[in-house]
Amino acid sequence: MGTLTDIVLDEELPRARLGLLLQHFSELEDEREPWRVMYPLSEVLLLVTCATIASCDDFDDIVAWGEHHLGVLRRFSAFHHGIPCERWLRCLVNRVDPLLFGRCFQGWVEALWPGRHDLIAIDGKTARRTHDRGKGLKALHTLSAYATTARLVLAQTSVPEKANEITAIPELLDQLADAKQLAGALVTIDAMGCQADIAAKIVAHGADYLLALKGNQPTLEADVADYFRTAPAGETVVETTVEKGHGRIETRICTASGVVDWIASARSYPGQPRFTSIKTIVKLLARVEHANRCSFETRFYISSAPLDIDRLAAAARGHWGVESMHWLLDVAFKDDLSRYRAGHGAKNMAVVRRFALGLVRANKHKGSVKTRRKSASWNPNFLLEILQQK
């Protein structure tokens, strides 16, 4: 049994960690005149964060939750005037700078989960109902950097309306580098990000890449496929894994080779590869057996990392984690049903959802994400447990 001092320290932990989050929120610029502010921005953002974790997916639910749990919120901030109405809450969230807002969460994650993440997956997701045909606005597309082992979103950025992921990925890489979370990591990106400039930027930041080959690099993909078709056994390393679950059996055969000198040959042809840092090529054959069918898929990758079959196979497999995260955003957080369109509301709530999902999944309590969010809504102590976890 712990001493009284231990108990007091344990009770102070959630206060200290939430105080740190409030400190990050307080650094956001509030353009309102101070003497007219009834609802400080830091309190509003704390309300939105806690309520989103506690299974609230729109502003009406957030306000109702706050009114029922005002005593809990007042443990961490004054809330002199209580909870703002739904209209005022929406107005405030729409005005917050999404770039600075995202960095608040990013800084908090860095403080609570310090250290380097070995595997980072980068992928994008579209919130389909955030488009506005009347104003000619496309749906919001958010690019996330996801630590596959910790299952946390480390950083994110919204893709400009008239751009695509290729132009947004370098910006996200710079964010990770500035936060000192990129050096030494192995970064996985799907075929969209298989670009020479992106590969060069990853290497320049002291990290390695594992890029999928498909479509946009047809010549290099065909050459790699031809190599594995005729490669001598002594030049390749093979690892086979079998996973059972969810009513299926998945067999993955990962083959890698460090013989890549032929890629940098003096040949010149249309579509010639421009990658200068390739050290390893990978072939991944996945066979999935269901009760009534069987499917096969073959993927090819290039990597700047030295040949380490265990790490490369784990990275290729781990990239599925960011896709799982996107699926959970739709199923548990109703991301695709979100209709926030005015101001910065859609971008800011996208930040909150990813941050909340990371915290909920990091909690070791039994139950699905949906059940844990419901439990946080019913039990304020469990909500604090999610927010204070190490």
> Of 53, 150, 8, whose CA–CA distance to 380 is shortest?
53
333-384 per-position pLDDT tens digit: 877 666 565 557 778 888 888 888 888 888 888 888 889 999 999 998 898 8
- Looking at per-residue confidence, does 308 or 75 come out higher? 308
Is it the case that residue 5 has pLDDT exceeding 70?
no
Tokens read off for 198: 């992106």
pLDDT band at 173 (very low <50, low <70, confident <90, very high): very high
38: exposed, middle or buried (Cβ count in 10 Å: 0-12, 13-18, 19+):
exposed
> Of 183, 171, 83, 147, whose CA–CA distance to 355 is shortest?
147
Residues 93, 14: Cα–Cα separation, whole Å: 25
pLDDT value of residue 191: 86
Is it the case that residue 169 has pLDDT exceeding 50?
yes
- Looking at per-residue confidence, does 35 or 10 come out higher? 35
76-97 per-position pLDDT tens digit: 888 998 999 999 888 888 888 8
In terms of DSSP H, where are the helices of 69-217?
A: 70-73, 86-95, 98-112, 165-178, 196-204
C-beta separation of 21 from 53 below 8 A: no
Residues 87, 138: Cα–Cα separation, whole Å: 24
Which residue's entry shows tokens 């890549």?
260
Tokens read off for 54: 């506690």
Tokens read off for 137: 């606005």
114-156 per-position pLDDT tens digit: 667 889 999 888 776 565 555 556 667 788 888 888 888 888 8
pLDDT band at 271 (very low <50, low <70, confident <90, very high): low
> The whole model's pTM is what?
0.81
> Of 127, 145, 178, whose CA–CA distance to 335 is shortest?
127
* Average pLDDT score, the chain: 82
> Of 380, 348, 347, 363, whose CA–CA distance to 161 is shortest?
347
> Of 29, 41, 43, whose CA–CA distance to 82 is shortest?
43
